Amino acid sequence: MINSQNIVARSATTLPAPQARDNVVEVAKLIDVSKCIGCKACQVACMEWNDLRDDVGECHGVYDNPMDLTAESWTVMRFSEVETEVVGGNDVSAEKQLSWLIRKDGCMHCAEPGCLEACPAPGAIVQYANGIVDFDSNNCIGCGYCITGCPFNIPRISEKDSKSYKCTLCSDRVNVGLEPACVKACPTNCIEFGSKQDMLARAEKRVNDLKERGYEQAGIYDPAGVGGTHVMYVLHHHDEPGLYHGLPKDPRISPVVGAWKGITKPIMSAILGITAFAGFFHYITKGPKEEPTDEEVFGEGDDHHRDSREEEHRP
């Protein structure tokens, strides 16, 4: 835990957050996919800084390696070979061209994090005032509800210790004024880091540049369904985010999580309360349950069964 005074939300608790500091600037990481060359320097830097060593995988005939996020690979490069509209004049707009769309995948650090909403372990997931969503593994119980709650399918449970892991946005580096390791390692500066306000301004400028070059659908991926994110993308095909290896167009927290934490929880609490009250009322009106006598069980004169029962209870 880097700074408990900057925590604005904790999982599974109703205690109010510290209010003394109100001048913390929201941060954000901006990933311009139009500049990405897929070198995977960000993957290496992430594992190096966080001292992670994933298993050596196998070649599956694609550039993705590993094929998915794991408890030891908190960010992976996604390569998508797709057909897109030809960028140029109207005379060729109906034709298709082959495009490589490369996206750095990892935690989006949602302003309204579904993982935190779903987590039943007190303090296992926290959100800092600067927007970073972090996991405290000491409090994780490995239930996997954070995976269910995440609209981007990011957290992974480790087979080694049954705890959940994901990108921390290098919260330890950010806390001392450094940029995340992936930003530091990127050779094309397609990953930038700073205040969210500054990153939005840079993204807007880049989107305008892309539109001037013919990418009319260029835009900023900062989905409102999760309150915005602190990891944003500049996409040249913003109208079709699914082209970038299934990036959801309108991510939202699962209604199952909302029902569990919103409706089901107070209903279950009410049922438990009614059950406890009914038991107490029965005790007051009927008294404690009494053990029936041998005469009530076996009847008058049944000495054989009475002797057998006394024999069973004899030490």
**36 known member of a binding site:** yes
Pull the structure tokens for residue 274.
Answer: 């009614």
**46 known member of a binding site:** yes
Q: For tokens 């107070």, what's the residue?
A: 266
**190 known member of a binding site:** no
Interatomic CA distance for residues 262 and 209, integer angstroms: 44
Q: Give me the DSSP letters along 191-238.
A: EEEEEHHHHHHHHHHHHHHHHHTT-TT-EEE--GGGT-BSEEEEETTT
Select from 209, 204, 182, 205 the least CA-distant residue to 193: 182
Residues 6+ apart with CB under 8 A from 121: 11, 12, 139, 140, 141, 143
Q: For tokens 């608790």, what's the residue?
A: 13
Q: For tokens 């919260």, what's the residue?
A: 171
User: Which residue ranges are tagged as binding site for [4Fe-4S] cluster?
Assistant: 36, 39, 42, 46, 107, 110, 115, 119, 140, 143, 146, 150, 167, 170, 182, 186
User: Which residue ranges are tagged as binding site?
Assistant: 36, 39, 42, 46, 107, 110, 115, 119, 140, 143, 146, 150, 167, 170, 182, 186
